[in-house]
Amino acid sequence: MRSISTFRMGIVAAAIAVTTLAATPALALDEKSVVTKPERSPWAVFRFGFSAYKQGHKQEAMEAYRYAAENGQIGARWKLARMYAEGDGVARDDYEAFKFFNEIARQDVEPGAPDETYVSDALVALARYARTGIPGTPVKANPQAAQEYYMRAAATYRNPDAQYEMGKMFLDGEGVKKNTRQASRWLNLAAEKCHPAAAATLGELLFASGEKVRGLGWMTAALAKARPGDTEWVRSAHEEAFALSQEADRRTAIALSQDILDRCSQ
């Protein structure tokens, strides 16, 4: 049986072969058919891992991602974190995922940089773990830490999921002092980025504050784009607001929702 290091060398060699031999139609997993002295480019190995993953070779993908991650590829760390978090090709292990996400979040990545999305998503994942904790691990529930992770993702990287969560935390006073104005601000930022749950929550706030047409408009647009896990509560909120609205307000809100959906489709 080959050692792990030998296996990884095979993965690296295969990666170089895949990225340099354009005529090869499938993954070159046979060490005899690939370059034997690779340059060991982390980017090439990461690309190989991605190709292996797409073809269902998840063990090979993980080995490639590990090599690339150990050599500085943030995207490879993110893929490993996601695989552990979702139990994708490996037994689910939230603490292992947390450690990879934490390594990513410690990177000094400027807004707009190529790796911005990885860092932004990692911060959101860390916030979710901090919100609930991970049983049987050193990661305990810490709403304030969750708020800090969300704030960094929302303010620095303009992540709409983080902006939505910040809105909810200000709305509920979770980890921060309750502040409806701040909640509306963050929800509006996320809703303008076409985040359905944020649009629905913003719509509820607006409707309750007397801005019934705008509120119903946001809720109508949210219902059209609601994610599967949010559909039920968004529909319930929309139906309640719709029932309380005058016919003229309903027609205006429907037109407004179409404008919102048109902007989101651009």
pLDDT along the chain (266 residues), means of 10: 45 45 37 39 93 95 96 96 97 98 95 96 98 97 95 97 97 94 98 98 98 98 97 98 98 98 92
Residue 181: predicted pLDDT:
96
Which residues contact residue 134 at a Cβ distance below 8 angstroms, ignoring those fewer than 6 apart? 94, 95, 98
Q: Are 55 and 27 spatial neighbours (Cβ–Cβ below 8 Å)?
A: yes
Residue 266: predicted pLDDT:
84
Amino acid at 197: A
Total-model pTM: 0.83
Q: How far apart are CA 160 and CA 171, in angstroms?
A: 16
Residue 30: predicted pLDDT:
38
Please give the full DSSP string across 156-194, using - where no structure is assigned.
Answer: IS--HHHHHHHHHHHHHTSSS---HHHHHHHHHHHHHTT
Domain with CATH 1.25.40.10 in the chain: 91-193
What is the separation of C-alpha 265 from the centre of its chain, rounded to a whole number of angstroms? 20
Residue 26: predicted pLDDT:
38
Q: Are 81 and 105 spatial neighbours (Cβ–Cβ below 8 Å)?
A: no
Q: Are 78 and 88 spatial neighbours (Cβ–Cβ below 8 Å)?
A: no
Q: Please report the sign of the dihedral spanned by the C-alpha atoms of residue 72, residue 43, residue 152, residue 167.
A: negative
> Is 169 exposed, middle or buried (CB count within 10 Å of its CB: 0-12, 13-18, 19+)?
buried
Fold annotation for 91-193: 1.25.40
Tokens of 123: 């911060």
Tokens of 48: 């190989």
Distances (CA, A) of 187 to 147, 153, 203: 15, 14, 9
Residue 175: predicted pLDDT:
87
